[in-house]
Amino acid sequence: MRCNLAVVYAWTGQNDLAIAELDKLIDRPAGEGAVFQPTHGDLRLNFFWDSLRNDPRFEALVQRPAPTDTH
């Protein structure tokens, strides 16, 4: 649900809110209770995030180390 909210925020120009939601999601291992969990690759390549690409905070999210799977 949070990822869908982040997409809506990004598409409607609410970059602060989109990045805040992504910040909560990006450090969680994939499949941890989310239907659509953004990965680092997703942030780099998916057009959903195009409106955020010039924001240094978004770039900082992309540059974070990917979480390790704890399962």
Considering the entire predicted model, what is its pTM? 0.79
At 29 the pLDDT is: 66
In this prediction, residue 71 has a pLDDT band, given cuts at 50, 70 and 90, of: low
Give 7-63 as a DSSP string.
HHHHHTT-HHHHHHHHHHHTTSPTTSS-SS---HHHHHH-GGGGGGTT-HHHHHHHH
> Tokens 């057009």 label which residue?
47
Give the residue extent of every domain in the chain.
2-63
Residue 12 has pLDDT above 80, yes or no: yes
Helix (H, G, I), strand (E, B) or coil at 35: coil
Helix (H, G, I), strand (E, B) or coil at 27: coil
Cβ contact 2:25 at 8 Å: yes
Higher pLDDT: 50 or 1? It is 50
